Structure 1
Amino acid sequence: MKYEILTIPLLFLAVLQTVNAQTKYEISSPDETLKVNVVLKGKQLFYGVSRNGTEVLNSSALGLIRSDADFSKNLSVLSVSKNEAVKDTYTLKNAKRLVNHYVANKRVIHLENGSKKKLDVIFQVSNDGIAFRYYFPDRDTKVSKLTEEKTSFHFFKASKAWMQPMSVAKTGWESTNPSYEEYYKKEINAGTAAPTSAGWVYPALFHYKDTWLLVSETGLDGNYCATRLKQNAPDGNYKIGFPDQREAFTGQNVNPESTLPWYTPWRIIAIGSLKTVTESTLGTDLAYPAKSNINPDQFQLGKASWSWIILKDNSIKYDVQKKYIDFAADMKWEFCLIDVNWDITIGFPKMQELADYAKSKNVGLILWYNSAGAWNTVKYTPKNKLNVRESRLQEFAMLQKMGIKGIKVDFFGGDGQSMIRYYLEIFEDAAKSGLSVNCHGATLPRGWQRTYPNLVTMESIKGMEFITFEQENANEEPAHATTIPFTRNVFDPMDFTPMSLNKLPNINLKTTSTFELALPIIFHSGVQHLAETPEGMAKVPAFVKTFLQEFPASWTDTKLIDGYPGKFVVMARKAGDKWYIAGINGENSIKEVSFDSSKFGKKAKLIIDGKEDLSFVQSNLDTDAKTKITMKPYGGFVLVVE
């Protein structure tokens, strides 16, 4: 009897210790190099990340605050699921890799707050990074509203960061900000405050010891706003922020709201070597699959001629555009983009003539539109055609009847939930009329190209347009172009509109011609709107023209060979049985790169800078395990291996 009495408190203590032990939960990657530890401490939820046994992300907060309930404190764990393997294979033409395989371990922490309302936190850990999102499992037809997200990313003090500041809403030319068009701050100390209260955009790159981490979000649908990182990050602890209240579709909401149940977007961190992070596909792995009513094969990728980038508004005339259609046809490019005010300077009857002429040349036309609405004061037209669904559908049906292949929609007004819905409505309605979509003055795509295969590209970058405006932008191009392959362009297509092989009017390009020639390989975009003119193309050697005529529209694989953000990049992309390897040097000194080109094929053609400015030299070479190529200051190379 005495034995039984003594056993009861011992059993109680054992149970109590077990409960306490279960407040910490681990999720590992399939190869066990990455580990996420989720801890309930003081009734608040935190997570941390280690790689190869070394902590790379400090204890970081989790939680949300709804207007009717706080899910950031007074939490208790109801249950935790077992580790579950998650696998997905998908094909995506508009990506760095055609066939993508996602393998991860998944675990769900089921929570409730002090008022017995429920929240799930879902973690998935793959070999190239971690992903997590929130889920409200209760059912309620009443609209719930989020006032704050408590998620943070707490980096160690020794970390360095490459981050793009978010521009303040309603600033800039014709009040068109934010447009994700600021230069990245390069290799700054983690925790450095953003220049303005608007904060920082995704993706944000960090380097700690031997580990690189790229923070972003994906799986964003119409039930949430796009987020950013807040301005201040004391001790390197970056918190998620909601948009400025002015970043809304006219008269509608900014912060997230939805009926229940309700999923938030995924917060993702690609983690590993710089090569692992740059080659990661987390941004599309966790995006929603293609809409069942959109046929990906209906929408063509390719290259486009574009007069406006060099010749500006005065070039949007019938004769000039006919010339650029001929230019696209001569270059065997798929498209010609006709920009602002075409409805006035060319008109619909003559545009029908151009569309018919382009079709006879096997060239598709893409037409520009102003997003319209009260969010900007831009006067360019067509305007007020897309922001009301009835007129949008009429416009798209008319374009389809004319034989137009795509639209470029410009000057969006921010990241509020209502504006995100507007983007998605445009994509879906355009798809119904067989139109591809390119957005400028826009937010980060966040994996939308997988969900909406007619979304071919988005700007969301300070691109070639700005280089044509001011010399300071040309001065910044080498460092900028060698930063964005590791940041903005890792997950999503980017319409930088690259490649000026000759002199620009009133601008002294710092980059060499071969640096510019390499950019359409270094940068990924479903449609590359190339900046060169017919007159400029007439000046280049025949082998450069042939290269650009044969240049592929999409890739089956991508590999980072070497590089460092802001200094240099060597990237290899595969199409068919050829590998296109390109390098660019972001520094004002000669740089030699060495790599094993024999892994890519047996024979190669190399294009490098000539001795004279704006000149090229081509040579044939046998591939070798120790291929060495010297890049000029701000120079580059292109190597085609088969």
Structure 2
Amino acid sequence: MRIIFYFLTACVVGSCSNKIGDEPLPSPDGRITVSVWLNASGQARYALLYQGKTLLDSSELGLKTTTADFTKDLKLVGKSPVEQVNEAYETVNAKRRHNRYRATRKTYRFRNAEGQGFDVVFQVSDDGVAFRYHFPYVEGDGIQVLDERTSFHFPPQAKGWLQPVAVAKSGWEQTNPSYEEHYEQGIPVGTPEPTGAGWVYPALFQIDSTWVLITEAGLDGRYCATRLRSESPEGEYRVGFPDDREVISENGLLPLSDVPFYSPWRVIAVGSLATIVESTLGLDVAESAIDIDKSAVKPGKSSWSWINSKDDYITYDEQRKYIDFAADMNWQYCLVDVNWDRKIGYDKIKELADYAGDKGVGLLLWYNSAGDWNTVKYSPKNKLLTPESRTVEFRRIKDMGIKGVKIDFFGGDGRSVIQYYIDILNDAAKHGLLVNFHGATLPRGWSRTYPHLMTVEAVRGFEMVTFGQEDADKQATLSTILPFTRNAFDPMDFTPMNLNKVYTPVQRRTTPAFELATSVLFLSGIQHYAESPEGMSTVPRSVKDLLRTLPDSWDDVRFVSGYPGRDVVIARQAGSRWYVAGINGEAALKQIAVDLQAFKGMKKAMLYTDDVAGEGFRQMEIPIASTPIELKPNGGFLMVLE
């Protein structure tokens, strides 16, 4: 009778061909359920339902390793009782300060005829599903994972908002992949990825009125970072491994361990667009924070000369000007970019650090990740490759008063590259240094585990707008996609907010109020602003005063409205105030209704939006009511409620 019961349960989620499994695992509120079973070939499968509707049907579980092929001829030999997960944690570089994660958990144990195999741990929360593989028995030379067969099988009507993986060793100085391609928008599932390299995380899908966001979290150095494969026949997307060239050491590509280990979590956020924007699932399942001096972990804002004046102006006088700029704006940091060691030198950097410190500004310094895989000529380089060299360099700059480092041009997702990131983070923590990774991978929940990881690029950010008109033309649309994808869980160094159009020969398409809105819309532990002192001098005093008092971290988030590629309005809370930011991703005039009465206790609303010509700002106090706000083509607004 028990086998018959399993059979009937499995029939709910797909074709009923000799399935043996278990009763569905529900979320705490019962709206999401996951079923796990074996098919007639002994393949481990799972399916995901939301409010009784199948979102992922008969998707595969399994791996091939140097020990055995665990993709067929398996048996479900055991399962744990259902457990309740209830965890609380705090972050200062994400969308919400105080977070609570509640989920139901169950472990399924799959083995082959020889007793070899793996466990799969599923956790189902009200906002999605996370699962990971566990290898409890590792002997001899250890286990290397050769292939992962995990899949996500969508129904045929599903559509995707997906970013291609750049081909390894392509691009400027062969620095790809760096998660900086343009998104494909609303494409049918099954559409092949054009480069053949795969799709990056987070990957967003729409199934009728429901949304699904797929990513991974919890990389610890034993596993490579993964992606979705380029081919998705009949809407079935599979986890893929990096290109063979995405390594920094011999045998450094594939997952490898000589002790029992877990894979990263496969994370599937499920619900409305509000669920996607407000969820912290990608952080919830990441490892808890390492032991670190919390007094050094200070989010904030930074001035930055390079975005406007590029390489030739990394000079002592120019950096002093940007220190003064940061001090005038009450911003905590100033970033000194490439070649500072050659154009300024360590001794003069120490002078700048002292000068900045007297003004309440901390200096951040750029580094080349370097190594023989990296042909980029910018320096300092080859300073961070070993524990010994990192200790020497980090101790030296910490003694100079430097607050953090920006490290660039990693170019890969292989296991050895992931381990390099983690080694840097651990050593930076020992010296109380903040970290910003550029030319980098998606951080995948690292900002929870390593609270001093303030931000990561992994986005086609504002610097690309300064390089070419095509990116400037696409900036508004891209910006409305990012809150639902790249910036959904992890901090993102887009380097936003250029309020004045004098920065480049490229014609910027967005309005000043659009740019102002991105200062709140985009999440980054340190927000590096793309504005110059000269540009800020043209901005009205009221806007400058607003930027002097913007919060450095957020207590809560609320989705107001939007659709990826069209427009988005998001509210963020800091203390007793709410900041509501909205942008228009299309070249058409729009009216967007914002119900201010939904923000309980607010008595005053100040609106900053575009002037009639769309070339400057308009500021006005508006009533606390359901308020229609006009959005100019590629325009925006920022509202402060108190």
TM-score by length of 2: 0.96
| SS across alignment from 2:201 | coil
| SS across alignment from 2:141 | strand
| SS across alignment from 1:415 | coil
With over 3 angstroms needed to count, the CA separation of the structure-2 counterparts of 1:19 and 1:284, relative to structure 1, is closer
Contact 1:439–1:459 (CA under 8 A) maintained in structure 2: yes
Give distance in 1, aligned partners of 2:340 and 2:252.
33
Counterpart AA for 2:183 = Y
What residue in structure 1 maps to residue 16 of structure 2? none
Say if 2:471 is the partner of 1:446.
Answer: no
Say if 2:636 is the partner of 1:636.
Answer: yes
What residue in structure 2 maps to residue 615 of structure 1? 616
What residue in structure 2 maps to residue 356 of structure 1? 354
Give distance in 1, aligned partners of 2:350 and 2:290.
31
Contact 2:593–2:627 (CA under 8 A) maintained in structure 1: yes
Shift of 1:20: 5.5
Give distance in 1, aligned partners of 2:511 and 2:252.
47
Counterpart AA for 1:612 = A
Q: How does 1:515-594 map to 2 (within 5 A)?
A: 515-594=514-593
What residue in structure 2 maps to residue 369 of structure 1? 367
Contact 1:249–1:413 (CA under 8 A) maintained in structure 2: no
Q: How does 1:181-200 map to 2 (within 5 A)?
A: 181-200=180-199
Shift of 1:260: 3.2
Could you give the per-residue CA deviations for residues 48-106 of structure 1, whole angstroms, max 9, x where no partner exists? Answer: 11111111112100001111211111110111222211110101111100000100011
Shift of 1:252: 4.3
What residue in structure 2 maps to residue 122 of structure 1? 121
Larger radius of gyration: 1
What residue in structure 1 maps to residue 11 of structure 2? none
Contact 1:605–1:640 (CA under 8 A) maintained in structure 2: yes
What residue in structure 2 maps to residue 280 of structure 1? 279
Give distance in 2, aligned partners of 1:336 and 1:248.
32
Q: How does 1:460-471 map to 2 (within 5 A)?
A: 460-471=458-469
Give distance in 2, aligned partners of 1:559 and 1:17.
45
Give distance in 2, aligned partners of 1:118 and 1:187.
38
Give distance in 1, aligned partners of 2:290 and 2:614.
49
With over 3 angstroms needed to count, the CA separation of the structure-2 counterparts of 1:236 and 1:17, relative to structure 1, is closer
Shift of 1:18: 5.7
| SS across alignment from 2:513 | helix
What residue in structure 1 maps to residue 238 of structure 2? 239
| SS across alignment from 1:140 | coil
Could you give the per-residue CA deviations for residues 266-311 of structure 1, whole angstroms, max 9, x where no partner exists? Answer: 001000011111211010000000012x133321110000000010
What residue in structure 2 maps to residue 396 of structure 1? 394
| SS across alignment from 1:437 | strand
Farther off after superposition, 132-141 or 106-115: 132-141
Contact 1:211–1:273 (CA under 8 A) maintained in structure 2: yes
With over 3 angstroms needed to count, the CA separation of the structure-2 counterparts of 1:544 and 1:576, relative to structure 1, is same
What residue in structure 1 maps to residue 410 of structure 2? 412
Shift of 1:582: 0.6
| SS across alignment from 1:422 | helix
Shift of 1:40: 0.8
Shift of 1:115: 2.1
TM-score by length of 1: 0.96
Give distance in 1, aligned partners of 2:597 and 2:162.
36
Could you give the per-residue CA deviations for residues 393-428 of structure 1, whole angstroms, max 9, x where no partner exists? Answer: 100000110000000000002000010000000011
What RMSD, in angstroms, separates the aligned Cα atoms of the two structures?
1.1
What residue in structure 2 maps to residue 178 of structure 1? 177
Counterpart AA for 1:530 = Y
> What are structure 1's unaligned runs of at least 5 residues?
1-13
Counterpart AA for 1:495 = D
Farther off after superposition, 436-445 or 248-257: 248-257
Say if 2:456 is the partner of 1:458.
Answer: yes
| SS across alignment from 2:139 | strand
Shift of 1:314: 1.0
Say if 2:607 is the partner of 1:606.
Answer: yes
The percentage of aligned residue pairs carrying the same residue is 52
Give distance in 2, aligned partners of 1:16 and 1:215.
32
Contact 1:25–1:39 (CA under 8 A) maintained in structure 2: no
Give distance in 1, aligned partners of 2:314 and 2:2.
77
Shift of 1:131: 0.5
Give distance in 2, aligned partners of 1:545 and 1:287.
37
Give distance in 2, aligned partners of 1:613 and 1:535.
20
What residue in structure 2 maps to residue 346 of structure 1? 344
| SS across alignment from 2:253 | coil
With over 3 angstroms needed to count, the CA separation of the structure-2 counterparts of 1:136 and 1:514, relative to structure 1, is same
> What are structure 2's unaligned runs of at least 5 residues?
9-19
Give distance in 1, aligned partners of 2:92 and 2:614.
36
* Number of aligned positions between the proteins: 627
Say if 2:28 is the partner of 1:67.
Answer: no
Could you give the per-residue CA deviations for residues 177-222 of structure 1, whole angstroms, max 9, x where no partner exists? Answer: 0000001111111111111121110000000011100000001111
| SS across alignment from 2:137 | strand
Shift of 1:15: 6.2
Contact 1:98–1:556 (CA under 8 A) maintained in structure 2: yes
What residue in structure 2 maps to residue 510 of structure 1? 509
| SS across alignment from 2:168 | coil
What residue in structure 2 maps to residue 322 of structure 1? 320
Give distance in 2, aligned partners of 1:251 and 1:137.
26
With over 3 angstroms needed to count, the CA separation of the structure-2 counterparts of 1:138 and 1:193, relative to structure 1, is same
Give distance in 1, aligned partners of 2:293 and 2:26.
36
Shift of 1:595: 2.3
Give distance in 1, aligned partners of 2:453 and 2:333.
15
| SS across alignment from 2:238 | strand
Give distance in 2, aligned partners of 1:165 and 1:375.
22
What residue in structure 1 maps to residue 297 of structure 2? 299
Could you give the per-residue CA deviations for residues 510-551 of structure 1, whole angstroms, max 9, x where no partner exists? Answer: 110000000011100000000000000000100010011111
Pick one of 26, 29, 32 that aligns with 1:31: 29
| SS across alignment from 2:213 | strand
What residue in structure 1 maps to residue 425 of structure 2? 427
Contact 1:170–1:375 (CA under 8 A) maintained in structure 2: no
Could you give the per-residue CA deviations for residues 485-533 of structure 1, whole angstroms, max 9, x where no partner exists? Answer: 1100000000000011111321111110000000011100000000000
